[in-house]
Amino acid sequence: MAPILEVEGLQKRYASGHEALSGVDLTIEKGEILALLGPNGAGKTTLISIICGLVTPSGGQVRVDGHDIRHDYRKARALIGLVPQEIALEPFETVWNLVRFSRGLFGKPRDDAHLEAVLRSLSLWDKRDAKVHELSGGMKRRVLIAKALAHEPKILFLDEPTAGVDVELRRGMWEVVEGLRARGVTIILTTHYIEEAEEIADRVAVINRGQILLVEEKARLMARMGRKELRIELQHRIDALPDRFAAQGLELIHDGNAILYHYDTRGERTGIASLLAELAEEGIVLRDIVTRQSSLEEIFVGLVTEDAA
């Protein structure tokens, strides 16, 4: 499939001399959901702002569906919808007028049927004549998305879509994102909530100090980087672990009623079979065995900490 977005060697040095991006490469396929994860100041907003033509890059290239964002700005920009983090909407304007103006800004001919479909998909159709100040916070966020979709973009950037939103609204927002993907919109979202990436992204890009540390399919990333934890529950409690296990990093937990073993899913052997055999040799009888995969959050923290070292 042809990429919808190609970022090559992108650099940004602000007038202050601060290098916010130092050679970012990123390719995004049509119809995928990519989560851009990074700590504060990593360069996420700078990257999005350059792609959307709000900040001028110091070097490198960006193409949107083949259109260079500098030489072919209008065509490139028309393919992008941006949902900013801050809610900045005219309080006394109606929802309908806002989406209509937004479409007009991109020089698109009037298409009330499209706007109706957008508002319906965001459960805002009943609110089309309401003024912004009459809406709840969650509805205002959905109006921001409706505005960004008014001109039929192929890529939608969501900058922290659920920051400060309660859990229920966050779920609602994820459903909206799923619905958009089903209609073929490519979505790039920045988030501080790892569970958001874990829940809805197809791929995850981790950015730190202006560089992409990794871009990978979420499922593969979790399988490749994820350490697993094995909790071995014992039939009878023990006072201490036999010495032979000291080197294997086993931990006695739950007041001697369970043993914790960490293994790396990247390793060729997990060592579980031999561990269980050795425990049997020591006369330690097992009651149950429970495994747990490390979360994306643990993987992310591990990556960023490694990068800082």
Ligand X SMILES: Nc1ncnc2c1ncn2[C@@H]1O[C@H](COP(=O)(O)OP(=O)(O)OP(=O)(O)O)[C@@H](O)[C@H]1O
Q: Tokens 């995928």 belong to which residue?
A: 32
Q: In the complex with ligand X, which residue's Cβ is closer, 44 or 127?
A: 44
Q: Sign of the C-alpha dihedral, residues 135, 166, 80, 151?
A: negative
CA 204 – CA 214 distance, rounded (Å): 8
20 in contact with ligand X (CB under 6 A): yes
Residue type (1 letter), 127? K
Size of residue set near ligand X by CB under 6 A: 12
Does residue 191 contact residue 180 with C-beta atoms inside 8 Å?
no
Q: Which of 2, 16, 167, 243 binds ligand X (CB under 6 A)?
A: 16
Q: Which stretch binds ligand X (CB under 6 A): 11-19, 98-106, 137-145, 168-176?
A: 11-19
Residue 170: CB minimum distance to ligand X, A: 18
Does residue 108 contact residue 162 with C-beta atoms inside 8 Å?
no
**Other residues' Cβ atoms within 10 Å of the Cβ of residue 175:** 12
Q: In the complex with ligand X, which residue's Cβ is closer, 54 or 219?
A: 54
Q: In the complex with ligand X, which residue's Cβ is closer, 87 or 219?
A: 87
Q: Tokens 């970012």 belong to which residue?
A: 24
Q: Mark residues 21-60: x for contact with ligand X by CB under 6 A, - for none.
A: -----------------x-xxxxxxx--------------
Q: In the complex with ligand X, which residue's Cβ is closer, 55 or 176?
A: 55
Residue 3: CB minimum distance to ligand X, A: 23
CA 192 – CA 188 distance, rounded (Å): 13
Structure tokens at 10: 């992108």
CA 19 – CA 83 distance, rounded (Å): 25
Residue 289: CB minimum distance to ligand X, A: 40
Q: In the complex with ligand X, which residue's Cβ is closer, 40 or 168?
A: 40
Stated length of the chain:
309
Q: In the complex with ligand X, which residue's Cβ is closer, 40 or 92?
A: 40
Q: Give the footprint of ligand X on this chain (CB under 6 A).
A: 14, 16, 18, 20, 38, 40-46
